[in-house]
Structure 1
Amino acid sequence: MSAESSKAIFYALAANAGIAIIKFAATALTGSGAMFAEAIHSSADCGNQLLLLFGLRQSRKPPSPLHPMGSGRAINFYSLLVALLLFFVGGAFSVYEGIHRLIAREPLQHAYVAIAVLGISVVLETLSLIGALRAIRAGAPTKSLWRWFRETRESDLLVVAGEDIAALAGLAIAFAAVLLTVVTGNPVWDALGSIGVGLLLMTIAGLIAREVKSMIVGESASPEMRGEIETFLRARGEIRSIINLITLQWGKEIVVAVQAEMIYYAESRAMVAAINVIEADLQAKFPQVRWVFFEPDFVVR
């Protein structure tokens, strides 16, 4: 876990804790369904960040006989839990609350308090998102946000960024709903705002869950990293050709399996020594590569 990624989680936790307290106070004053949905969302986000921190701690466990390659991928499991919590606790509950208020038609009180709180929340969530974007840019300075979302192997940072984006979009919906309720005097808009926030959260949670599921199943290293590793190996004078190259992202570390045709060596010990040098140089150049499995083979011509 990088320092920037760690900071992004703590920024999000601090922002959401403050926002949740303010939103619950505003809900008590205004009776706003959209505000209550936002308060529940922020509370769920606090729990999510704590769950991510716990998952990161679990992922640092050293290798053991039961888990010989360590527990680096444990963070993917906890990231999936966070996505599910965002879907059900944040999204589904908001939809339920909106439908309830749509039927009850409860009036909105002290609407300007709700608007002020939403404005403060936007500022705090923006600061949290800036922290997440800073961490993203540190690792992928040239990628678009959508491309990073599809290609990243950092499930913890993926969840934090997704939550922050969902929060800002949800605040925009809640702000519009409360404003329309004030202008029209019709509480239906407030109820629809709660439903809109819930549907948005469920959509983003579904996208996050899809990406994290792929990581749990097992993804290769990022396209850039895999390309750099392949280029490095093909440039080695000891290797005649690469037959097969497999990379596997294992938490923050990478597993590399190489099947290659070596140049001619009169003795097997000389070939083994050459392979050892290649492995050592590969790990020196790419510190993320924790394990290297090298199989010398030949191509039938």
Structure 2
Amino acid sequence: MKEFFVLLKDGNKPSLLAAIVNSIIAVLKGFAFFFTGNVAMFAEMMHSIGDAANQFFVFIGSALSKKAPTPRFPNGFGRVVNLVCLGAVLIVAILSYETVIEGWHHIQHPAKSGGLLITLGVLAIAILLELFVLYKASKEVLHEAGVPKAQGLAPLALAFTHLNRAKPATKLVFMEDLVATAGGILAFVAVLIAHFTGFLQAEGIASIMIGLMMFYVVGRVFLENARGAIGETDEQMLNHIAHLVMEHKDVKDIQKLSVIKEGEFLHVELVAEVDSSISFAEADDIRDHLVDLILHQQGVQDVTISFDEDDGVTHWKHVNNRPDKLSPQ
């Protein structure tokens, strides 16, 4: 149990922050729904409950994924975060379904809800809190992608460009809070329309749209973490590492290179070709240099390097004459 709490210190911080904030928001929305009976508020409450549960699971999973390898599990626990995310999206999927069904019922049997000021006040607070979490998640995305610090609102825009380089947990938090912020704004507008125009079905329509956005997150997160659980090649890092290896003066060619992404970590396996005349000591120096170089790349957890004699056949080539874009022939 002590080890578990030690691991929690290294859990994904944005997911913990998002889980706490969404728990507070869910309570506020729950009270507002209890007093007003507003169906759009019900949809938002379900959304916040799903996000909070999801993000708590992801925080725990991201912490457990950093557990050191053991004799029984020599490859480590990097994929635990992917497995946890796969389980967590099931919760969101169920809540998404309930949200859509509740919205459909309201469209068929519209009923006027009260407590306009309570509803709008809670939604406004929730939108501001979600924006705060989204901004924090955006900055974490840029940090994990190695992008220099941006000021003002720039991180919100830049995060979309670099989202594919973020860790699974951070990416999930960003996507969920983006949808949560959009859902809150949608619910706010729907409540105003229903109150001032008498078109009560607007709240039901908003509920269905929020549920469908939640389903989008479910699908996107499921596919990405399914690939991570299986073990996916990180093409961008593979090209980057290939470029670094080929720059070494004693490396003649790359016979094999794999960069497998497991959770937040990368596992690198390299077979490089060198001149057959070099000594064992020289080959060992080359190996030490390459291992140290590759381990200093972001996200790389372990490296396995072996050598073969240069056979004079090019196994690795430049793509479009760009040295930073290498791929196996």
Separation in structure 2 between the aligned mates of residue 115 and residue 205 of structure 1, nearest angstrom: 27
Residue 125 of structure 1, CA deviation? 0.6
1:55 corresponds to which letter in structure 2?
G
Work out whether residues 102 and 191 of structure 1, in 8 Å CA contact, stay in contact via their aligned partners in 2: yes
1:281 corresponds to which letter in structure 2?
D
1:53 corresponds to which letter in structure 2?
F
Match of 1:126 among 131, 135, 138: 131
Residue 232 of structure 1, CA deviation? 1.9
Separation in structure 2 between the aligned mates of residue 61 and residue 189 of structure 1, nearest angstrom: 48
Which residue does 1:168 correspond to in 2? 181
Match of 1:293 among 285, 299, 304: 304
1:73 aligns with 2:85: no
Match of 1:188 among 189, 201, 209: 201
Give the unaligned 5+ runs of structure 1.
Answer: none
Separation in structure 2 between the aligned mates of residue 28 and residue 116 of structure 1, nearest angstrom: 15
Superposition TM-score, scaled by structure 1 size: 0.89
Which residue does 2:14 correspond to in 1? 8
1:23 aligns with 2:29: yes
Separation in structure 1 between the aligned mates of residue 30 and residue 278 of structure 2, nearest angstrom: 76
Work out whether residues 95 and 198 of structure 1, in 8 Å CA contact, stay in contact via their aligned partners in 2: yes
Which residue does 1:159 correspond to in 2? 172
Question: Against the structure 1 CA distance between its residues 284 and 65, is the aligned structure 2 distance closer, same or farther, given a 3 Å change threshold?
Answer: closer
Structure 1 or 2: more helix by fraction: 1
Work out whether residues 103 and 207 of structure 2, in 8 Å CA contact, stay in contact via their aligned partners in 1: yes
Q: For 2:232, what is the secondary structure of its paired residue?
A: coil
Separation in structure 2 between the aligned mates of residue 75 and residue 135 of structure 1, nearest angstrom: 17
Separation in structure 2 between the aligned mates of residue 233 and residue 122 of structure 1, nearest angstrom: 48
Superposition TM-score, scaled by structure 2 size: 0.82
Residue 77 of structure 1, CA deviation? 1.0
Instruction: Please identify, of 100-109 and 291-300, the stretch whose mean Cα deviation from structure 2 is larger.
Output: 291-300
Question: Against the structure 1 CA distance between its residues 71 and 280, is the aligned structure 2 distance closer, same or farther, given a 3 Å change threshold?
Answer: same
1:76 corresponds to which letter in structure 2?
N
Work out whether residues 48 and 82 of structure 1, in 8 Å CA contact, stay in contact via their aligned partners in 2: yes
Bigger RCO of structures 1 and 2 (CA < 8 A, at least 6 apart)? 1
What are the within-5 Å matches in structure 2 for residues 73-222 of structure 1?
73-89=79-95, 91-140=96-145, 141=147, 144-149=158-163, 151-152=164-165, 154-221=167-234
Work out whether residues 11 and 63 of structure 2, in 8 Å CA contact, stay in contact via their aligned partners in 1: no
How big is each residue's C-alpha offset from its partner over 1:83-121, in whole Å with a ceiling of 9 and x where there is no partner? 3322222x2111011122223322211122211111111
Question: Against the structure 1 CA distance between its residues 216 and 147, is the aligned structure 2 distance closer, same or farther, given a 3 Å change threshold?
Answer: farther
How many residues are paired up? 296
Question: Against the structure 1 CA distance between its residues 264 and 180, is the aligned structure 2 distance closer, same or farther, given a 3 Å change threshold?
Answer: same
Work out whether residues 111 and 200 of structure 2, in 8 Å CA contact, stay in contact via their aligned partners in 1: yes
Work out whether residues 168 and 264 of structure 2, in 8 Å CA contact, stay in contact via their aligned partners in 1: no
1:52 corresponds to which letter in structure 2?
V
Work out whether residues 78 and 265 of structure 2, in 8 Å CA contact, stay in contact via their aligned partners in 1: yes
Aligned alpha-carbon RMSD (Å)? 2.4
Work out whether residues 41 and 119 of structure 2, in 8 Å CA contact, stay in contact via their aligned partners in 1: yes
